[in-house]
C-alpha cells in the first residue's frame, strides 16, 4: 500500500480505536499524512524510536504491539519463552502505557513478563534481565530525545541490547507482520490470573544498589570527604532521582542538592525542550543552584538515567566548567585503572573498552597500566558485546571499564549497558579523592593531561529530518565513499577506513586490510600527528554526525587543531 492507502486503512478499519481515527482525520496537511504513513516505523537493531502519534511511522500502541509480536514470535521459535521477559519504562508520555501493551502482548503469546511497578533507569533493566534469568528485556524510553519522542529498546538474555544474529532474527519477524490486527493481546486481569503478568520493584532495587556499591575503590576516602563535598544533582524529570539520591545517601554524602523544578518525573520536561546532559543549556537551573549553595560538582542524568553530564567548580575562578563525554570517560578510566593498580586489584588480563569515535587517550591510559584496549563500533551494545566475547573465550581478558564519547560508561560487568547511576557514584568518589587533597576534578583532569598529552575532540552534526533528509544523508555518504579526501584540515589522510565495506586503505602504499570489527555505515580517516576524524549517520536521530580528535602539547593547540578539522569537514559537506 502507498501512504494514502495506509491512511485510509487506519481511518476506516474498525480495528483502530476512535481516538486514533479522530487524530488522523484532523490532519489537513498532505505532507504530514505522508510523513506518518510513507513507511512503517522501522524496527532497527536496537528497537523502535519515533514521534508519538497515530500512524504507521509513529510510536503508538499498534506499532508497539507489532514490534512485541515480532519479538514474541522470535522467542517462541527459540523455545525460551519459559524464562520470561523483564520490562521497564521511563517518565516519557505513554511510557507506562506502551510498556503495559508490550507485557500483555507477550502474555497473550504465553510468555511471562516481569514489569517494574514504576519508572526505572535503563541500566537497572539490563541488570534485572541477568538477575532474573530472563530470555529478553524491554525498556520503553527515547533516552535524551525531545519530548515528542518515545522509543522501545530490546535486550537479550545477557542483559545487552540485541546484536547479531538475534537482532536480525527479531527484525525479520517484525517485518513479516503486515497486518496490524494480527498481534495478540489480552486483559490485565486475565494475564494476572494466568500467572503470566508479574510486578517487580523494590527487591530488584535493593540488589542493584548493593551491587554497584561494591565497585567503590576507596570507601575510606568517601568517609573523609562525604560530609564536606557539595553535590548538585538533577534527574531532568526522569528516572534517576530515586536510585541516585539513594546510593549517595547510603555512601554518606549529606550535602546533595536536588534541582526541585526537575526532580519529579514529567514527560513534558517543562524547563528544558531537549533533556540531554550533553547540552549546556540543560544545566541552567542546576548551575543557578550550584552557585547559590557553593557546590563542588554538578551532575545530570538523562530521562532513562544511562548518561551522565557534569560541571566542576574551578577553585581559582569560582566558575563552573563543563566536562565533555571524553573528558568524563577518561577521567573515570584513569582513576579506576590507576587506583586498582596501586592497591593490586587490577588483574593481569584487564581490558579497557571504548569506541572508534571516542578519544585516543583511552589507548594511552590502557597502555600505561598494562591493560589491553579494545575499540568497537559506536553504541554501547558493542562495548557490552565485547564483554560477552571475553566470557565466551574463557576470560582471556577481564572487562574492567568501558565508555563512549556520548556521555556513557559502565564500571564493571554487573550490567550490560551504560549506567548513569554508578557513574554518579564513581564521580562522587573521585571528587572525594580530590577534596581530601584540597583539589578538584579539574586538577585531576590536568594531572591526566600532563601525564599523557592534551587531547581535544569535537562533535558536530547536520540535521536532515524526514524522508528527504534521509536521502540527502545517504547521497552524502556515498559521494565521500567514492572519492575520499586525501587531506583534511591541513593534515594528510594516512588511512581511510570504510566500515561498511569492512576495509581499510593505506593511502601511501595502496595496501588494503580488514577493519576487524562488524560492518557499519561509518567513514573514518586516520590523519597525521595522531589526529583523526569520521562521519556517520545517527542511528536514533535524523542527522549526520562528524567526530574528530587531536593530540598536542597544550590544550589550546589541540583545540585549534580539532576546530580546523571540523571546519574542513563542513567545507567538504557543503561541496
- CB neighbour burial string for 545-572, b if at least 16 within 10 angstroms, e if fewer: bbbbbbbbeeeeebbebbebbbebbeee
Q: How many whole angstroms separate alpha carbon 298 and alpha carbon 315? A: 14
Among 61, 24, 62, 63, residue whose Cα is nearest residue 42: 63
- For every residue of 461-488, DSSP letters joined together read EEE--HHHHHHHHHHHHHHHHHS--SEE
Among 296, 305, 354, 357, residue whose Cα is nearest residue 329: 354
Those residues whose C-beta lies under 8 Å from the C-beta of residue 224, and which sit 6 or more positions away, are 432, 436
Among 100, 10, 94, residue whose Cα is nearest residue 50: 94
The rounded radius of gyration (Å) of the Cα atoms in the chain is 24
Residue 483: C-alpha distances to residues 477, 528, 538 (Å):
10, 19, 22
Cis preceding linkage at 321, omega within 30: no
Q: How many whole angstroms separate alpha carbon 287 and alpha carbon 293? A: 10
Q: Are 473 and 464 in contact (CB under 8 A)?
A: yes
3-state secondary structure of 119: coil
Which residues are part of the catalytic machinery? 143
End-to-end CA distance of the chain: 37
Q: How many whole angstroms separate alpha carbon 523 and alpha carbon 501? A: 10
Q: How many whole angstroms separate alpha carbon 15 and alpha carbon 519? A: 40
Neighbours of 251 (CB within 10 A): 17
Residue 190: C-alpha distances to residues 2, 103, 292, 445 (Å):
38, 12, 53, 56
What phi and psi values does residue 234 have, to the nearest 5 degrees? Answer: -130, 130
Task: Return the sign of the alpha-carbon dihedral for residues 543, 136, 66, 15.
Answer: negative
Q: How many whole angstroms separate alpha carbon 180 and alpha carbon 184? A: 10
Residue 414: C-alpha distances to residues 160, 355, 417 (Å):
11, 20, 9
Amino acid at each position: 500500500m502507498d501512504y494514502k492507502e495506509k491512511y485510509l486503512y487506519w481511518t476506516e478499519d474498525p480495528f483502530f480505536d476512535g481516538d486514533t481515527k479522530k487524530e488522523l482525520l484532523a490532519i489537513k496537511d498532505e505532507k504530514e499524512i505522508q510523513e506518518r504513513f510513507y513507511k512503517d516505523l522501522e524496527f532497527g537493531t536496537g528497537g523502535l524510536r519515533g514521534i508519538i502519534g497515530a500512524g504507521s511511522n509513529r510510536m503508538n500502541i499498534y506499532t508497539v504491539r507489532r514490534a512485541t509480536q515480532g519479538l514474541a514470535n522470535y522467542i517462541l521459535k527459540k523455545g525460551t519463552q519459559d524464562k520470561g521477559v523483564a520490562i521497564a519504562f521511563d517518565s516519557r508520555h505513554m511510557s507506562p502505557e506502551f510498556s503495559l501493551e508490550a507485557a500483555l502482548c507477550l502474555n497473550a503469546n504465553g510468555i511471562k513478563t516481569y514489569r517494574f511497578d514504576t519508572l526505572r533507569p535503563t541500566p537497572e533493566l539490563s541488570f534485572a534481565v541477568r538477575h532474573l534469568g530472563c530470555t529478553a528485556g524491554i525498556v520503553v524510553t527515547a533516552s535524551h530525545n525531545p519530548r515528542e519522542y518515545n522509543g522501545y529498546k530490546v535486550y537479550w538474555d545477557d542483559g545487552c541490547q540485541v546484536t547479531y544474529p538475534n537482532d536480525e532474527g527479531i527484525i525479520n519477524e517484525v517485518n513479516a507482520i503486515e497486518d496490524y490486527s494480527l498481534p495478540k493481546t489480552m486483559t490485565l486481569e486475565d494475564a494476572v490470573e494466568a500467572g503470566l503478568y508479574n510486578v517487580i520493584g523494590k527487591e530488584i532495587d535493593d540488589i542493584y544498589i548493593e551491587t554497584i556499591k561494591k565497585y567503590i575503590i576507596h570507601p575510606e576516602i568517601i568517609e573523609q570527604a562525604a560530609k564536606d563535598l557539595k553535590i548538585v544533582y538533577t534527574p531532568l524529570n526522569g528516572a534517576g532521582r530515586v536510585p541516585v539520591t539513594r546510593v549517595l545517601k547510603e555512601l554518606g554524602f549529606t550535602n546533595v542538592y536536588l534541582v526541585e523544578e526537575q526532580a519529579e518525573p514529567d514527560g513534558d520536561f517543562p524547563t528544558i525542550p531537549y533533556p540531554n546532559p550533553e547540552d549546556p543549556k540543560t544545566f541552567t537551573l542546576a548551575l543557578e543552584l550550584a552557585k547559590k549553595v557553593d557546590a563542588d560538582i554538578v551532575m545530570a542524568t538523562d530521562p532513562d538515567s544511562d548518561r551522565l553530564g557534569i560541571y566542576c567548580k574551578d577553585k581559582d575562578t569560582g566558575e563552573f566548567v563543563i566536562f565533555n563525554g571524553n573528558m568524563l570517560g577518561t577521567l573515570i578510566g584513569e582513576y579506576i585503572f590507576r587506583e586498582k593498580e596501586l592497591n593490586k586489584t587490577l588483574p593481569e588480563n584487564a581490558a579497557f573498552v571504548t569506541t572508534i569515535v571516542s578519544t585516543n587517550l583511552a589507548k594511552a591510559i590502557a597502555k600505561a597500566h598494562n591493560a589491553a584496549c579494545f575499540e568497537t563500533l559506536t553504541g554501547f551494545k558493542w562495548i557490552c558485546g565485547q564483554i560477552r566475547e571475553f566470557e565466551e573465550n574463557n576470560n582471556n581478558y577481564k572487562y574492567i571499564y568501558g565508555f563512549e564519547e556520548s556521555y556513557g560508561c559502565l564500571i564493571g560487568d554487573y550490567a550490560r549497558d551504560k549506567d548513569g547511576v554508578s557513574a554518579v557514584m564513581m564521580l562522587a568518589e573521585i571528587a572525594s579523592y580530590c577534596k581530601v587533597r584540597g583539589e578538584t576534578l579539574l586538577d585531576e583532569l590536568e594531572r591526566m593531561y600532563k601525564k599523557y598529552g592534551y587531547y581535544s575532540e569535537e562533535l558536530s552534526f547536520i540535521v536532515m529530518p524526514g524522508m528527504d533528509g534521509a536521502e540527502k544523508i545517504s547521497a552524502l555518504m556515498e559521494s565521500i565513499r567514492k572519492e575520499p579526501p586525501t587531506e583534511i584540515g591541513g593534515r594528510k589522510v594516512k588511512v581511510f577506513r570504510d566500515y561498511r565495506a569492512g576495509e581499510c586503505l593505506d593511502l601511501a602504499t595502496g595496501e588494503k586490510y580488514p577493519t576487524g570489527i562488524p560492518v557499519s555505515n561509518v567513514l573514518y580517516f586516520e590523519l597525521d600527528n595522531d589526529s583523526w576524524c569520521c562521519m556517520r549517520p545517527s542511528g536514533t536521530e535524523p542527522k549526520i554526525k562528524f567526530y574528530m580528535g587531536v593530540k598536542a602539547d597544550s590544550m589550546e593547540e589541540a583545540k585549534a587543531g580539532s576546530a580546523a578539522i571540523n571546519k574542513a569537514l563542513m567545507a567538504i559537506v557543503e561541496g
